[in-house]
Amino acid sequence: MALKPPAEYSNAVRDTLHWLVSAGQVDQPATARGEAQYLLCHARRLHESFISLPAAGVNTKCLVVGSWGIEVPYLAGKLGWKDITCICAPTNKRGVVQRLTRTHPNGQDSYSFDLIEHDLESGRLPFEDESFGLVVFWGCFEHLRHDPEFGLYEINRVTAREGVVSIVTDNAISFQMTHSMLRGEPMPMRLHHPAAEGHWRLYTPPELETLLTGTGWRVDVLTTIVSDPPVYWRWWKRWLFRKLVADFRRGFGLREPYWDAFILANAVKVAAPIRQYPGWLYKDEKIAALKLEMLEYEGRNVGRARTA
């Protein structure tokens, strides 16, 4: 997280922040604390992520994974997603459905939503198949450490056919990451640590695309957003570095350099949830164990359906 918010914001970013933070705090970002400070520090990432989302259609059910509801006013008031459920990390109310309300920070409107404490890697999501028209999955994928592909499998299961998942995660081949690796210096945010709050694995855009297509999605948007902090070189050295690395990446088949700090992927559900178990993500013995887990998981689900 940035240490402090930017001093000013573009008009486009202000339009997004209108749904998230009070105007007074946007005008004086240095005074913001708590949730408002977080939102202002990440204003550009949130803006570029929000403007990529579709408006609600016939299905107005939206699931937000890894959230306490900060996105609700924008999703409900701006985009029309009326039936919103948020999943947050479990504390002392695991599995309990709480009905909460968020008030527009610059108006009188209020928006109700459900909040459920649930660990995405703990098993089945507490929703019926093909329930949601949109799943927002921002800032979470890099934290999954046991079975990341299962998270996409479960999100597919609860997403309606032609529904959309939007994913934002840290970019393993951003300008700053690439620069650090080639110099042999520590990479920012490379926290491969077993603690729950650590970034367990960072992904490249092609890796994320492979995981999505392998679990039943069609990737319609795959890009990177928000420029890294500048590397402190003269401008011509930065230009030359970008040109040389971009040429090499294109030579190895990468469609674009993907320089920015975060990957943004929007994908449409086109098939029932499946698994691929890519070898670059799992070791052979891990794949064997996960396949057994999936057989047990699917067997339990079949039994549950027959009972119902």
Q: Are strands 159-170 and 262-269 parallel, antiparallel or unpaired?
A: antiparallel
**For position 304, what pLDDT does the model report?**
61
Which residue is associated with the tokens 């795959």? 222
**For position 192, what pLDDT does the model report?**
46
Which residue is associated with the tokens 């999100």? 155
User: What are the 10-residue block averages of pLDDT along the chain, 308 residues in total?
Assistant: 80 97 94 93 96 97 96 98 94 85 96 95 93 97 92 98 97 91 72 57 95 98 92 86 93 92 97 96 94 91 59
- Specify the pTM: 0.92
- Provide the 8-state DSSP code for 66: T
Q: Which two tokens stand for residue 23?
A: 């105007």
**For position 67, what pLDDT does the model report?**
94
**For position 12, what pLDDT does the model report?**
97
- Provide the 8-state DSSP code for 94: B
**For position 307, what pLDDT does the model report?**
53
**For position 188, what pLDDT does the model report?**
59
Which residue is associated with the tokens 């240095």? 30
Q: Can you point out the beta strands (E) in 125-229?
A: 132-138, 159-170, 217-225
Q: Is 3 exposed, middle or buried (0-12, 13-18, 19+ CB in 10 A)?
A: exposed
**For position 229, what pLDDT does the model report?**
80
Q: Does domain 55-227+260-276 have CATH number 3.30.2350.10?
A: no
- Alpha-carbon distance of 199 to 276, in angstroms, equals 23
Contact present, 126 and 158 (Cβ < 8 Å):
no
